[in-house]
Amino acid sequence: MEQAESTAESLTRRAYAQLRQDIIEGTLQPGAKLKIQELTRAYNTGASPIREALSHLASDRLVNRIEGRGFRVSDVSREEFLDLLKVRIWVEGKALAESIAVADPAWEDAVLSTNFRLGQAARSSRADRFEPNAEWEEKHKLFHMALVSGCRSPIALRICDQLYDQNIRYRKIAGPVAYPGRSVAEEHDAIAKAALARDAGTAVTLLERHYSATADYVLDRLPPSN
């Protein structure tokens, strides 16, 4: 019985991870209808793991559950993006300030190492045109999560993680425009330097500017509100 439950949980986790990645990457477009039968074929799994995965994604706000009409990928909008930006600045600013206030060697090492590894990765996997580099994306998240990792609130850290993933969908809209004219690596270096110098005010201000600079590119690409 325990083995059967473990297998079911594993299938749900796998379906969740695959669907989540495809939504974040834009393979499943905003507003797309998510039909259980089609998803079972596409992800080679049963209906139950797909339904469970979609329920979890609805909690993450990446999927909308429409009563009597199934599931759809959450839409994108200027209003939601601006709200997302505001909340990220609030939550991550507080988490970063607390991380700096209670900094220990483990936090310092995490910030140093993740920023170094991020700097070694190319933003684009091609030189002639912008093409997202999966390695950079992974290291980028590790760096931003390292900055706030000293925060002593597991709830705040979980929210930071979820907000980061929700923001990726919007950032990918602006990627081709924002690259290569913007030196994101220099922005990361400046944030890390201020954080490691225990200058919380400067670090939080630079983080806010970093997110706001991305927001300017994203808003240029989003259609105007009706």
Is residue 30 in some structural domain?
yes
pLDDT given at position 77? 87
The CATH number for 42's domain is 1.10.10.10
The answer to whether residues 34 and 117 belong to one domain is no
What per-residue confidence (pLDDT) applies to 175?
59
Shared domain for 94 and 14, answered yes or no, is no
Residue 158 CB coordination number (10 Å): 10
Per-residue pLDDT of 105-133, as tens digits, reads 999 999 999 999 999 998 878 777 777 78
Give the CATH number, domain containing residue 164. Answer: 1.20.120.530
* 89 found inside a domain: yes
Residue burial 39-51, b: 16+ Cβ < 10 Å; e: rest: bbeebebeeebbb
Quick check: is 201 in a domain?
yes
Same domain, 28 and 129: no
Tens-digit pLDDT profile for residues 157-216 = 999 998 998 888 888 766 565 555 678 899 999 999 999 999 999 999 999 999 998 888
Which tens digit of pLDDT belongs to each residue from 17-40? 999 989 988 889 888 999 999 999
pLDDT digits (tens, 9 = 90+) for 86-104: 999 999 999 999 999 999 9
At 159 the pLDDT is 94
Residue 48 belongs to some domain of the structure: yes
Task: Say yes or no: 59 and 154 in one domain.
Answer: no
pLDDT tens for each residue of 36-68: 999 999 999 999 999 999 999 998 888 998 877
The C-alpha atoms of residue 71 and residue 69 are separated, in whole angstroms, by 7
Q: Which among 93, 111, 75 is positioned nearest to 212, based on CA atoms?
A: 93
Q: Say if residue 128 is in the same domain as residue 216.
A: yes
Q: What is the pLDDT of residue 122?
A: 87
Total of domains in the chain? 2
Query: Of the residues 73, 104, 131, which one is the last residue of a structural domain?
Result: 73
Q: Is 169 exposed, middle or buried (0-12, 13-18, 19+ CB in 10 A)?
A: buried
123/100 same-domain check: yes
Q: What confidence score (pLDDT) does residue 2 get?
A: 47
Residue 22 sits in which domain range? 2-73
**7 lies in the same domain as 110:** no
Tell me, yes or no, whether 34 and 107 share the same domain: no
Inside any domain, residue 127: yes
Are 99 and 40 within one domain? no
Q: What is the pLDDT of residue 50?
A: 95
pLDDT value of residue 178:
55
Mean pLDDT of the chain: 89
Q: Residue 135 in 3-state DSSP?
A: helix
110 located within any domain: yes
124 DSSP 8-state letter: B
If asked whether residues 101 and 208 sit together in one domain, one would say yes
In the predicted structure, residue 1 carries a pLDDT above the cut 50? no
Residue 226 lies in a domain: no
> Pick the residue with more confidence: 225 or 168?
168
- Report the pLDDT value the prediction gives residue 114, as an integer from 0 to 100: 98
Q: Write down which residue in 73, 91, 118 finishes a domain.
A: 73
Same-domain check for residues 121 and 88: yes
Domain end, chosen from 56, 73, 90, is at 73
pLDDT of residue 169: 84
The answer on 88 and 158 residing in a single domain is yes
